[in-house]
Homo-oligomer: A and B are copies of this chain.
Amino acid sequence: MSRGYTVAVVGAGLVGERLVAELRRRDFPIEELRVLARTARRVEMAGETFDVGVAEPEAFEGVDYALFAGTEGEKGAAVQLAREAVARGAVVVDNGSDFRLDPEVPLVVPEVNAHDLEGHGGIIANPNCSTTQMVVPLAPLAREFGLKRVVVSTYQAVSGSGRSGVEALEEGREGVYPKPIAGNAIPQIGDIGEDGYSTEERKMKAESRKILGLPDLVVHPTTVRIPVHTGHAESVYVETERDVTLDEVLGLLGSAPGVTFSGAADAIPTPLEAAGDPGTHVGRVRVGERTVEYWCVADNLLKGAATNAVQIAEALAGARAAKARA
């Protein structure tokens, strides 16, 4: 590639910071990196100083890739802004939830469904953090054995709620969660709907079906916030269509892209170790006749957000470069 791209990171919170860090760590070819947020200011992010620009339509002039952190509280604004960026020629990777279930918008975990990027209309959605780390090890199981049913219980970190979540844990900030989170476990993330499932649980159902291309997949999620700073964990139970053996599953997980797995069925990865690492760590593998159980942990700000978004940008840039060569 002869030149780098002009990249905009939209959002200067925890995810915005990780987006900058991941772009640099993964050496994404950048000529100009802009950070945009609601208000202009000078900030330190991932060891660099940025003059943050206001996230308004004109700020996307000349931008090749715009990575939206998906901050809370400005849903409508983010949708509008993303469309304005696309109108100016940018390709948007959005970490918010607005576009994820739009049939026109690919929802992508590159290890699983990079092929869905083809023919995109300028906006690509980054999945919910809990969904992403679940499907990374689930995809090879789906391909090899077929999936009948998934039961998943999550153990989610407070940084998934941004800085306010961290303050709720560390300083007892009220109003962030429905109950105190320090020394507690709260089985509600988002609002509980008429079907009995919370917003987060409905995301896990709908998004995993779309990413895996299994519109009828039965998913029973229970999402729970626990007093952990960073690193979501999940206890996943899978019913398969075909018989499985432990050796097959260990082999599949050991070679699955994006999966960090020691190969030991009794590995016990934890959030403290996964925080700061871009991989999806797998352990506690157990196999029945047509069942697989596993425990997975990933940094919710990295693979759950920034890493996956940058991987999408890499796939897009790779496809563009290939087209240019052809």
Interface, chain A (partner B; CB < 8 A): 151, 153, 155, 178-180, 183-188, 192, 195-197, 220, 222, 224, 226-229, 233, 235, 237, 246, 265-266, 268, 270-273, 283-288, 291, 293, 295
Contacts and interface: CB of A to CB of B under 8 A. Distances in A.
Nearest to A297: B185
A191 B296 CA distance: 19
Given A192-B266, A222-B295, A185 B285 contact: no
Given A222-B293, A235-B153, A268 B196 contact: no
Contact of A283 (B184, B187, B233, B288): B187
Tally of this chain's copies: 2
Given A151-B151, A227-B227, A185 B233 contact: yes
Contacts of A195: 286
A288 B229 CA distance: 34
B155 A220 contact: no
B287 A179 contact: no
B184 A270 contact: yes
A288 B221 CA distance: 13
**Which of A179, A220, A235, A284 is most buried by chain B, counting CB atoms within 10 A of its CB?**
A235
Q: Across the A-B interface, give the 8 residue pairs with the lowest CB-CB distance, nearest first.
A: A153-B153, A196-B286, A153-B235, A222-B235, A192-B266, A184-B272, A187-B295, A155-B185
